């Protein structure tokens, strides 16, 4: 767990979401920061001495202006992200357009640091010789979510250049953690295993088990974000992931070890020869910022992933 040794006020926009909630909980655990949360729905955190919550729509309720008037904010974490069964217009409006009100407010409040959570999905699928992807790799998103995050980044870069705002864009890899969405691959795997957890031998069904991705435990990611809050002169864009290509089979084997159950994977289709992978990230820029070695970082990533599965299946 990362502890913050100085007091600052952090506003988390999208504080009820999967990522935003974990970041809020991590900061509150340190008990050294005042946290302000903002989201559309009622808040699940009640009566915490270091937490203030605002319910509102960033596009309609003038809530950002109200917060910045009432609260002394040093850092803002923009953790808004809509994904899944929504039309393209809704996804783009939610993930991209909503930040404009905030950016316009920050033009006259340049002392505030802004961390914007984008997504590594903006890289799209890459051939093996294009991996790992770094921050300057070609951006070829292949779905509306990826395009919405690309537009989000372009807006932030424009305001950074035109108005000299202090903005750091974070490109996270694929998350794993308690509360992960059930319609995501990892969520489906977890649900199938939980349904059969009492069995000595567990069989799960997947489309394939060989495609590789970059996964990071949500607690590990949250701790990295907290550590980045303490840094100055950050790069404009930073990949944040494990930097390791893990197949679905690797993930299932790790779960099998943690829960002490044999898990057999049944695939729906014959596995083709894989010449593409989703992507995994080059995290050298992150390692430099954190002043840590790749070996040390990889050990922490592996340990956090195992702790994550212990928490999920406890």
**124 domain-assigned:** yes
pLDDT digits (tens, 9 = 90+) for 204-229: 998 888 888 999 999 999 999 999 99
For residue 144, give both structure tokens.
């509306």
pLDDT digits (tens, 9 = 90+) for 145-166: 999 999 999 999 999 999 999 9
**301 domain-assigned:** no
**110 domain-assigned:** yes
CB 71 within 8 A of CB 9: yes
Strands 113-117, 166-172: pairing kind = parallel
Q: What percent of the chain has pLDDT over 90?
A: 77
CB 109 within 8 A of CB 143: no
**265 domain-assigned:** no
| pLDDT of 251 higher than 50 | yes
The count of structural domains within the chain is 1
Sign of CA dihedral 9, 14, 17, 20: negative
**205 domain-assigned:** no
pLDDT digits (tens, 9 = 90+) for 7-29: 589 999 999 999 999 999 999 98
CA distance 173 to 175: 6
**15 domain-assigned:** yes
CA distance 244 to 301: 9
Average pLDDT estimate for 191-215: 91
pLDDT digits (tens, 9 = 90+) for 87-118: 999 999 999 999 999 999 999 999 999 999 99
Q: What is the CATH number of the domain that holds 93?
A: 3.40.50.720
Strands 126-127, 276-277: pairing kind = antiparallel
pLDDT digits (tens, 9 = 90+) for 33-88: 899 999 999 887 877 889 999 999 888 778 999 999 999 999 999 999 988 888 99
Q: Note down the domain range covering 38.
A: 9-177+216-241+281-291
Rg (CA), the chain: 20
């Amino acid at each position: 767990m990362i502890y913050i040794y100085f007091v600052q006020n952090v506003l988390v926009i999208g504080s009820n979401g999967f990522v935003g909630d974990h970041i809020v909980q991590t900061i509150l655990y340190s008990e050294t920061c005042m946290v302000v949360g903002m989201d559309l729905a009622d808040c699940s955190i009640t009566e915490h001495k270091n937490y203030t919550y605002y319910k509102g729509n960033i596009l309609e309720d003038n809530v950002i202006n109200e917060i910045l008037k009432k609260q002394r904010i040093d850092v803002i974490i923009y953790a808004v992200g809509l994904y899944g069964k929504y039309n393209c217009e809704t996804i783009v409006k939610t993930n991209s357009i909503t930040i404009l009100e905030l950016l316009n407010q920050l033009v006259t409040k340049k002392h505030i640091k802004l961390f914007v959570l984008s997504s590594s999905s903006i890289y799209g699928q890459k051939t093996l010789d294009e991996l790992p992807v770094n921050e300057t790799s070609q951006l070829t998103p292949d779905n509306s979510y990826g395009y919405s995050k690309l537009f989000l980044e372009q807006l932030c870069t424009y305001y950074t250049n035109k108005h000299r705002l202090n903005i750091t864009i974070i490109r996270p890899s694929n998350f794993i953690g308690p509360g992960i969405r059930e319609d995501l691959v990892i969520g489906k795997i977890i649900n199938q295993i939980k349904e059969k957890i009492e069995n000595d031998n567990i069989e799960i069904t997947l489309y394939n088990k060989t495609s590789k991705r970059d996964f990071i435990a949500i607690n590990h990611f949250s701790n990295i974000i907290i550590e980045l809050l303490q840094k100055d002169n950050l790069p404009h864009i930073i990949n944040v992931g494990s930097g390791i290509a893990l197949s679905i089979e690797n993930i299932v084997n790790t779960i099998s070890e943690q829960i002490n159950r044999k898990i057999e994977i049944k695939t729906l289709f014959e596995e083709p020869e894989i010449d593409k992978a989703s992507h995994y990230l080059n995290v050298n820029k992150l390692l430099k910022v954190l002043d840590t070695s790749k070996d040390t970082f990889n050990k922490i990533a592996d340990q956090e992933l195992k702790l994550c599965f212990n928490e999920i299946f406890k």
